[in-house]
Structure 1
Amino acid sequence: MRIITISLAALALTACETYSSSPYMASTQNVIDIEDRVGEARVRLGDFSSDPEVNDRPICRLTAPLDVSPGVPVSEYVRQAMLTELHQARVHSSSADTVIEGTLDRLAFSATGTGSWGFTLSLRSNRHPDGYTVSSEHAFSTSFDGHMACTNGINAFAPAVSTLINAAVNHPEFPRLAGAQ
């Protein structure tokens, strides 16, 4: 009986591993693209929300949750990442008339075969109420070993968000969204 209890306790402890993402770092390319596309316009970010179907803690290989946005909803992680990019590009102003809002419509994750993160994000502003929607896919290397595959997956999350932001700021409607047109 004691061996069974110890075995169950060991199994429970090993199954409770959680992988957490790193803080977001601005992408030089995204910052340059924002500066080039927005010019002198200034924006502020409003609320970002998630579709109710978006899972903020996807499971990696049916064993471990991925804490992609420690302490905040994943939509807020995306918002803060975009805010970081806008600040670096000197485009964000808390008093700007143009307010950009967003909805994270899809978050997809796979750590089998070629790993990938997938996103769909809808953006709108008071200058462009209909807004637009972008989707992005970001591939990463996985591994036969589950631990390494999940580690690679969580390490690819911030770069995947950068890929999403790149798609958003390079959309043909971004200058209009930002009030630059």
Structure 2
Amino acid sequence: MKQIAAVISILALSACSTYMPQRYSISANTNVALKTIGAGNINVGSFKGPANFDNSCRAAGPIAPPDSMSFEAYIQKALADELKVAGKFDEKTPKITLSGVVEQLSFSSSRGLTGGSWDIGLRVTSSNGKTTYVSEHYEFNSGFVADTACKQTAEAYFPAVQNLIEKLVKSPEFLTLVTS
């Protein structure tokens, strides 16, 4: 009986945590940029994930977006939320629908021992036939201890996605994506 209790204790103490970024919130810079474009009635269609992505962080546990979302759904929702707040979103009678493929998604929680980075590459395609690619390389301080480093890595996904969406919206190609 003592052996069973010892095994259960060891398993409980070595159980992995899941590290999550915060829910997406709007970027003021992206909001201002979206309000300057003349286009509107934009919908956001489906986003697909990368072919390969390992969400494990240092044997401490996986990194996973909140609300049981996939990483690509997090980016999709981020773009839709930005368009909604800027008054450019229209799900019912859109003139344009944007869809996406996350072609690159990777992170490091041990860049230079105590640093970390996210790399995200997104191809966005418009229902008008135009396409563009944007990418973000986001560096941050992660920490030496696995638990801290993985927590910091998860939290860094949010600003990495904010930067990615801002790059998309501010790119010269964005206007060609959202006009007929």
Q: TM-score, normalised by structure 2?
A: 0.88
1:98 matched residue in structure 2: 96
Q: Deviations over 1:138-161 (max 9, x none)?
A: 111111121111111111111111
CA RMSD of aligned residues (A): 1.9
Contact 1:20 1:70 in 2 (8 A): no
CA distance in 2, matches of 1:159, 1:144: 21
1:7-18 matches, cutoff 5 A: 8-13=7-12, 14-18=14-18
CA distance in 2, matches of 1:62, 1:109: 14
1:108 matched residue in structure 2: 106
Letter of the 2:100 partner, please give it: G
Alpha-carbon deviation of 1:63? 2.3
Q: Which runs of 5+ in 2 are unaligned?
A: none
From the superposition, tell whether residues 39 and 157 of structure 1 become closer, same or farther in structure 2 (CA, over 3 Å). Answer: same
Alpha-carbon deviation of 1:179? 0.7
2:82 matched residue in structure 1: 85
User: Which residue among 60, 63, 70 is the counterpart of 1:63?
Assistant: 60
Q: TM-score, normalised by structure 1?
A: 0.88
Identity %: 26
From the superposition, tell whether residues 53 and 26 of structure 1 become closer, same or farther in structure 2 (CA, over 3 Å). Answer: same
1:54 matched residue in structure 2: 53
Contact 2:109 2:117 in 1 (8 A): yes
CA distance in 2, matches of 1:11, 1:139: 35
Contact 1:141 1:152 in 2 (8 A): yes
Q: Which runs of 5+ in 1 are unaligned?
A: none
Alpha-carbon deviation of 1:29? 0.7
Size of the aligned set, in residue pairs, is: 175
